[in-house]
Amino acid sequence: MIAIPAVDLRGGKCVQLVGGDYDAEKIRLEDPPSVAREWVREGFTRLHVVDLDAATGRGHNMEIIREILRTADVPVQVGGGVRDESCIERLLDEGASWVVVGTRAVEDEDWREEMANRFPGRLIIAADVRERYVVTKGWAETSRLNVVDFVEELSVLPLAGVLVTAVHLEGKMQGTDLPLMEDVAEASAWPVFASGGVTSLEDMRALEHRGLAGAVLGMALYTGAIDPRRLAEEFGA
């Protein structure tokens, strides 16, 4: 299982939010590309970059994403507000190894099938979840779609993986939703990456035991709750 540091972008800064609340910002760092390079120096071999402004319709951070892709020297998955083919193509052309697609892939079955077949093995479908129901539009709207049912539907597409974020635990440092993640991993034909509430090495080991392929970590790394070197040594590849 691989640990993947998150580099979340907002207003040109690297931030961490609590509970999926755009107004509940706890961490703010001035130089996101330097943050990304520091995680690589600590021994991590993959990064997760999200444009929160693009996801919520508040603008974009494309220049910063471009610099991270140019200087990070490890594979990077990029998401946030990816809702059309041209955006996918642009991110891949700029050097993203995978593109993370959320809201439109959830809401538009025909589009996600077309994009998955057009970019086989390059898309990660993001299912942001609050109490097992998928949320969209930057965590602002809750659907009636159960995440396990959704993940089962994705099994026919040529994806790189599925990213499931437990929004109700995001940034709260209370541990992740292990029953949720276990059920999703069992239902998925593709590697599943967990996000939201991963706070300790014990959380990581528990996720690995339940069949997860990896975990995206934010607050636990930025606050020092997990020693990054120890994490990278055990879950760096």
3-state secondary structure of 31: coil
C-alpha separations of 236 from 46, 144, 182 in Å? 8, 36, 21
Active-site pick, 8, 51, 53, 203: 8
Alpha helices in the chain (DSSP H): 32-41, 52-55, 62-71, 85-94, 103-107, 109-118, 147-153, 178-187, 201-209, 219-222, 228-235
Tokens describing residue 101: 């697609």
Has 8 been annotated as catalytic?
yes
Active-site pick, 128, 177, 183, 203: 128
Dist. CA 177–CA 224, nearest whole Å? 21
Dist. CA 94–CA 27, nearest whole Å? 27
Q: Which amino acid is at 169?
A: L
* Residue 4 DSSP label: E
Q: Which residues are catalytic?
A: 8, 128
